[in-house]
Amino acid sequence: MNSDTAVRRLILLLSLSVFSGALVTRLTDPLVAVLAHDLGSSTARAALLASAFALPFALIQPILGPVGDALGKRRVMTVAIGLLTLLLIACTTAQDLDTLMVLRALTGLAAGGLTPLAIALVADSAPAEGRQVALSRLIACAITGQIAGGSFSGLLEPYLGWRGVMLAAACVTATGFATLVFGRTGFAAEPRRRFDPFGAARAYGQLLRMPAARILYFSVAVEGGFVFGSFPYFALELRDRGIGATAEAGLAVAAFGAGGLVYAALAKTVLRWMGQDRMVLLGGALCLSAYTGFAFAPVAPVFIASGLLLGVGMYMIHNSIQTRVTEVAPHARGTAVAMHAFHFFLGQTAGPAVFGLILHRAGAHTAFLCAGVCLLALAMMLGRRGWQRAGR
């Protein structure tokens, strides 16, 4: 079996786990009103279920990364998706919002052991020249999961109820668990060594002393903050202009996910044609164009099309950052990728507050344009040749 075939098989075996981790990320977003009604709470409190998931997901990364490097990434992923399945089943028994909030936080901890470690596993197996294309295929699974979590839960709830939606998600994660347990032939043997927390702390110190790593982590936090921080304000802006509301905002977010899939389909061709540095610059230009569309869209279709453009541009930048992160510390790839996920989700946690502050102080047009300009500036910084090899 040649290396390309082996990497494809590995991605296939990991795909359901990555899909599952992304699926549960957006699972409760369309269910906020239903959960608030059924559990006797307000929609404002029920909306905090998203933060209850995202923050633990970020905070567990500095632990799971070095644990995966020490004990084996596949082993940690198997335990994580097994726990995720049990926690989703437990969610179906919640009788009040506080209980569901705690269980949602625990699912964030468990889901944190899936996609980042899967990225590190693929990076361990893929040769450097084909790594970005391989990772783009894996990320396509995550994007599909996010789209499914945000749409299928809303579509299935009228027929299954929100508890049935949780149970259906548990069936998906259980299948991913079985794939990791029984699909061993696709995984290279991983050495097991004793987990050393002091050694892990030293590894993080070494990473953060690298100029290239610091720039990458800063970049992914800024990117996650501006992109995902703008999403909660789509419906408000559409309503204020009189061109749409919640449905159109949901379509814009779905279009963003579709844009990520477009990028995954085109990544190999674009990389061969332009190279990574120019592709990152193109991604920044597409992000600025998308946010200009959000700022001035006269009708809902233009706003939705801007979401598609943003998805293509953002993933051109994001997948390049991911690829560079896997090259920063090859001896501790799980640790490096975990720190990447940590900063990405911290950015998503802070993003809505930062974007909202700009919006309320300077208006929606300025907030959208500011996000676009910042992403273009970020792409220009990342697109400079040679810096990514500095500081190793």
Q: What percent of the chain has a predicted confidence (pLDDT) above 70?
A: 93
For the segment 133-147, what is each residue's pLDDT rounded down to a tens digit? 888 888 888 888 887
Q: What is the model's pTM?
A: 0.77
Q: pLDDT digits over 182-229, tens only? A: 876 655 566 566 666 666 677 777 777 888 888 899 999 999 989 988
Residues 91-103 have a mean pLDDT of 95
pLDDT at position 254 is 83
* 197-392 CATH: 1.20.1250.20
Alpha helices, DSSP H only, in 275-383? 276-296, 300-328, 333-362, 364-382
Amino acid at 65: G
Contact (CB, 8 A) for 15 and 115: no
Confidence of residue 391 (pLDDT cuts 50, 70, 90): very low
- Tens of pLDDT, residue by residue over 335-386, are 788 888 889 888 887 888 888 889 889 999 999 999 999 999 999 998 875 4
Structural domain boundaries in the chain: 1-182, 197-392
**Is-same-fold flag (1-182; 197-392)?**
yes
1-25 average pLDDT score: 83
Is the CB of residue 338 less than 8 Å from the CB of residue 64? yes
- Residue 53 CA: distances (Å) to CA of 91, 103, 105, 221: 13, 9, 5, 17
How does pLDDT run across 236-281, given as a tens digit for each residue? Answer: 788 889 998 767 887 888 889 889 889 988 988 999 998 888 999 9
Asked whether 216 and 324 are in contact (CB, 8 A), the reply is: yes
Contact 287, 314 (CB under 8 A): yes
CATH 1.20.1250.20 at 1-182, yes or no: yes
Looking at residue 328, its pLDDT comes to 79
Under 8 Å between Cβ of 311 and 259: yes
pLDDT of residue 388: 47
Burial of residue 140 (CB within 10 Å: 0-12, 13-18, 19+) is: buried
Q: What is the mean pLDDT of the chain?
A: 86
